[in-house]
Each structure stands twice: as structure tokens, then as C-alpha cells.
Chains A and B, each alone.
Chain A
Amino acid sequence: MLEIATRRRPYVLLAVSLVFQILLLAVQVKRPDGARLIRVWAVELLTPAERAGSWAMDLIHGGWTGYISLFRANRENQRLREQVGELTMRNSELESRAAEARRLAALFDFREAHADAPMLAARVIGGDAGAGRAVYLNRGERDGVQPNMAVITPQGVVGKVLEVYSTTSQVLLLTDKNGGAGALLANSRTQGAARGSGGPLLQLDYVSNDQEVAVGERVLTSGMDKIFPKDLPLGVVVETRPGNPFKQIQVRPAARLDQLEEVLILLERKQWDWEPKPAEAAEAAKGAHGPAAKSATSATAAKAPAPAGGEAKVKP
């Protein structure tokens, strides 16, 4: 190493001498703009290095910031996902409660609107493990429930109480093969018998072929079965065709029997108007339940059954 340095000494000395004198010149010489040449050189020499350093620092800082941001974003994303999950569950729960509140409000309004008819609200707590055409209610003998009491919803007839236990009771739905009710056509007042078929529809029997029956015509209880009061909504005609010896008429139940959650049990078989007149409803609503009665009136007015529409089939 020392030998190399000794051998290269003239070159090193020459380079040092020349550089020294060039710098000396640069210190003395001024450019036309007044700046000393050494300053111009220094700036030109250092600017790229400074630029490179600045670029490198920006790169490092940007990379670090990006990494940190990404890390934070990832954590925030995870936290937000958990929050979304919790809120979704909460929302679902609230929607369920809101739907329940709406159903109960409708039930309450209906009951308020028919304050003269003694009835008991009950909750469906289970279905039949067999054919599935019976449900269990959370009301029983202790609550005054007795066999053959009518069970309804604000939309229409559900069925009758079949078995009564101390705190629960079993309800036979209209659509059960053993279920049914005395019925009449709302327009012609022609009487018949609605019976369950085991499916979702009811069969209206004993209506003669001569009788004009239109699809969409309402079917009401006739009161002849000694269970259901007269003129309660049973359903709507969805299909009619001539039969032997009677017309074959399919009726869709007015109550949504596949979505039962809360029902009303009629404690007495007392005749009452399903759709009370507005004056009577206002009278019944006097007192603490004014708003409820008002909504009951509107709810009752809205209870006109929808026509079967395109779903109905008419077979000649």
C-alpha cells in the first residue's frame, strides 16, 4: 500500500496542485452576474446531491408513511368490519322488534276497535310436530281459554281451540284436514262450508253450480258452526269451477296462517261487527286510547281484501 502510494506520488501531487489552483482561480473569478465561480460550482456540485438526498428522503418518508397508513387502514378496516357485523346484528334485531311492534300495534288497535267483544291476545309458541296444521299458544286454562273458542287475527279467522292445557292450548288451523268453518259468499250471501284440505287453500263446499261466484269474492263466516261469530273474514275466492254435484271453489285464507306469531282468542261467541262503523269506532276509542282507535279505524278501513289478481285461475 505504501509502495503504491510512493509510486503514485507524482500523480497525486499533480492532481492536488491542479485542483488547488483551479479552486484558487474559482475563488477569485466572478461571473458577469457577480457570483463567485467557486459558489456557482459548489451549488452546481451540491444541488444534484441535495436533490438525490431529498428524493431519497421523500421516498423513505413516503414509503414509511404509506406503510404506517396501510397498517392503520388495515386495523381500522378490521375494526370497521367488526363494527359492521355488530351493527348488522343489531339492525336485524331492531327490525325484528319493529316488525313485532307493528304486529302488536295492529293487534292492539283491532282489539280496541272491538272493545265490546271479549278477546285475549296470545303468542304462538310452537307448531305441530305432525302435519303442521296446528299451533300452540301461550294461553291456557288459567287464562280462561276453553276448547272450541275461535282464534283470529286482524286479517281474518285462524282456527279454533282444540286442546286446552293449564298454560298452553292447541289451535287447529282452518287449513287442517279436520278444520273448517261455516261460510258464506259476501256478495250473494250464499252459504256453504269451508274445510281444510291439508294444503294452503280452503275448499268451499255446498255451493250449487248455478250460483255465480267470482274470483276475488270475499268469503265470510256464516255463524252456523256455533264457533265463529258471523261475518268474520275467512278468505278470498281464488278458483272456481263447476263440479258434481256442487261447484268446486278454492279459497285463500284471509289470515296468513304460515306467518302466525300473535293471535286473538275470542272468549265469547258473541256476535259483533268485524268492521265497525266509524261513529262506533270513535265512540269506542274515547278515553285513553284515542290515537290507537284512530289508527284502528284506518287499519280497519284498509282491511278490504285484495283481489286475487293474476294468481287466480278460473276453470270452466
Chain B
Amino acid sequence: MNPTEIAENVSAPPIPVRGVREPRLEVHKFRTGAVVSASFLALLLQAFVPAHVWKGELVGDLIELPLLVTLYFGLSRRNPSRGLLLGMVIGMAQDGLSGANPIGLFGIAKTLVGYLASTIGARLDVEHPVSRMVLAFAFFHLHNLVCVFTRRWLLAQAVPLMSVRVLVASLVAALLAWPLFALLDKLRQDED
């Protein structure tokens, strides 16, 4: 049983925040295998579609499906432990599939994204499409920031902090979040 399955099968209550009287937010549950399947599919598409479908085209590098999947399940399940574990697994798998990155580069970034998304999801209503797009945009930049610092600090690579390409990719991620998150909402179990 991998960490994702463990996270999926553990039912955790909403996390209380000390000193803050928070509204009661709904914790969504998903169908069995939904998280694993969605994550696997996102990794597969991320690894093979740019390489085999959009060969050499820049559009392939602009899409970050594993990030959006990590963000979605973190926001929906609202459990930081599960969120960070899912982010870590997806990130490390992405590193492994990319072949160019050392394992851990995307893993660190997506671990932080999963943790923070779960934390934010436990406090805010993230069901509205606009808020989802804004969060996707913001988390893309956070993800990029962590990756840049990791590359600079650990790998001694001279990587620019911000570029037009990154900005476009973040907008693409925000636009893609709307339909993708709506699609993933279909995997939720009925509450009643």
C-alpha cells in the first residue's frame, strides 16, 4: 500500500486552528482509486504527450498537469499530511519520468504545494471557479519559485527567477484549472 492509498483510506476530521473560529468546511471524499488513477493519468499525460504528441513544440512545456492534480486533491481533501504525501509521491514520480531532473526536484516543490493547498483548503472555500483559477496561478508561481531556488542552491544551475514563459505557463495553468477541477469533481463520492 503506497502513501497515496494510505492517505486515501484514512478519514481525518477537519483540522482545528487554534485561536481562530473557523467556518465548518466540507471535507470531500473520493471514490476508491480515484486519487491514484487521476494522479497516474496526469503523470502519464505529462510524460508522454509532450514527448510524443507535441514533439519539440513549446506548448507541451507550458502544461503542468501533476501540479494541478496535487493542488486539486490538496484543496479538496483538506488534510495537510495527505496533501504533502500526495505531492511528494507525484513530484518524485514526475522527476523519475522526466529523466533529466534529479529525483526530488519536483518532489520538494509539490510536497510544499500539497501541504499548503491542504492548509488553505481547510480554511477557505475553494469551490468557486475563480478562486480555483487564482489559486492555480499562485501555486504555479510558488512551485516555480521552489524549483528555481532548489536548482540554484542545490544544483548550482543559473535559472532565472521569472520569465515570460513562466508567466504564460502560470496563466495556462490557471485556465486549465477551471475545466480540470470540474472534471475531477466528478470523482467525488456523493455526500448523502
Contact = CB atoms under 8 A, between A and B. Distances in A.
Contact of A25 (B84, B88, B104, B111): B104
A21 B107 contact: yes
Given A9-B81, A21-B88, A22-B154, A28 B102 contact: yes
A26 B80 contact: no
Interface in B120-145: none
Contacts of A32: 156
A31 B104 CA distance: 17
Contacts, number: 55
Contact of B84 (A10, A24, A26, A31): A10
A105 interface: no
B80 A22 contact: no
Contact of B104 (A9, A10, A24): A24
A25 B85 contact: no
Interface stretch (A12-20, A61-69, A183-191): A12-20
Contacts of B102: 24-25, 28-29
Contacts of B84: 10, 13-14, 17
Interface in B132-166: 150, 154-156
A37 interface: yes
Contact of B108 (A10, A22, A31, A37): A22
Contacts of A10: 15, 80-81, 84, 115
Interface in A12-66: 13-14, 17-18, 21-22, 24-26, 28-29, 31-32, 37
B108 A13 contact: no
B92 interface: yes
Interface SS of chain A: helix
Contact of A21 (B80, B111, B115): B111
A13 to B, nearest CB: 5
Contact of A37 (B103, B112, B154): B154
Interface residues of A, number: 16
A242 to B, nearest CB: 119
Contacts of B80: 10, 13-14
Interface string B51-91: 00000000000000000000000000000110011001001
B105 interface: yes
A64 B37 CA distance: 68
A41 B115 CA distance: 27
Interface residues of B, number: 21
Contacts of B150: 25
B115 A25 contact: no
Nearest to B92: A21
B104 A13 contact: no
Contacts of B105: 25
Find the residue from B92, B104, B150 having the highest chain A CB count within 10 A.
Answer: B104
A73 B124 CA distance: 78
A32 B157 CA distance: 11
A22 to B, nearest CB: 7
B108 A21 contact: yes
B156 A25 contact: no
A13 B92 contact: no
A168 B108 CA distance: 118
A13 B102 CA distance: 22
Find the residue from A17, A25, A37 having the highest chain B CB count within 10 A.
Answer: A17
A31 B85 CA distance: 29
A14 B117 CA distance: 13
A10 B82 CA distance: 9
A29 B85 contact: no
18 contacts: A9-B81, A10-B115, A13-B85, A14-B80, A14-B84, A17-B85, A18-B112, A21-B88, A21-B104, A21-B107, A21-B108, A22-B154, A24-B102, A24-B107, A25-B108, A25-B154, A32-B156, A37-B154
Q: Which 7 A-B pairs have the closest CB atoms?
A: A10-B80, A21-B104, A25-B104, A28-B102, A24-B104, A21-B107, A21-B108
Given A13-B80, A21-B91, A25-B155, 8 more contacts: A14-B112, A21-B92, A21-B104, A21-B111, A24-B102, A24-B103, A24-B107, A28-B102
